[in-house]
């Protein structure tokens, strides 16, 4: 997973996989979800990110290993 912030456009991009994007869907005024051909989420884009979240604060917690 990769998280990138583009300050010039105030856009936050959460890339969850490297799968090719087959479809993009707006799920809100400033939220775009990209799906692969099987309907799995590839990435999430937040426009006007600083109005929706604190882009300067990032925390990550790994709850446990998958079995």
**Count of H helices and E strands in the chain?**
1, 5
Distance CA 6, CA 63 (A): 28
Instruction: Give the DSSP H or E segment for 50.
Output: helix 49-52
* pTM of the shown model: 0.85
Asked if residues 41 and 53 have their Cβ atoms less than 8 Å apart, the reply is no
Domains of the chain: which residue ranges?
2-52
Q: What local confidence, expressed as pLDDT, does residue 66 receive?
A: 62
Q: What local confidence, expressed as pLDDT, does residue 65 receive?
A: 65
Distance CA 22, CA 9 (A): 24
Q: What local confidence, expressed as pLDDT, does residue 36 receive?
A: 97
Q: How do residues 37-67 score in pLDDT, each as one tens digit?
A: 999 999 999 999 999 999 888 888 888 766 5
Q: What local confidence, expressed as pLDDT, does residue 30 receive?
A: 95
Read off the pLDDT of each residue in 19-30 and give the average, rounded to a whole number.
95
Q: Give percent of the chain with pLDDT exceeding 70.
A: 96
């Amino acid at each position: 997973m990769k998280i990138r912030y583009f300050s010039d456009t105030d856009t936050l991009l959460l890339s969850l996989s490297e799968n090719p994007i087959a479809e993009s869907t707006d799920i809100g005024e400033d939220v775009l979800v990209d799906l692969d051909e099987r309907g799995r989420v590839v990435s999430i884009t937040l426009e006007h990110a600083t109005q929706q979240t604190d882009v300067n604060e990032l925390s990550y917690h790994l709850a446990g290993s998958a079995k």
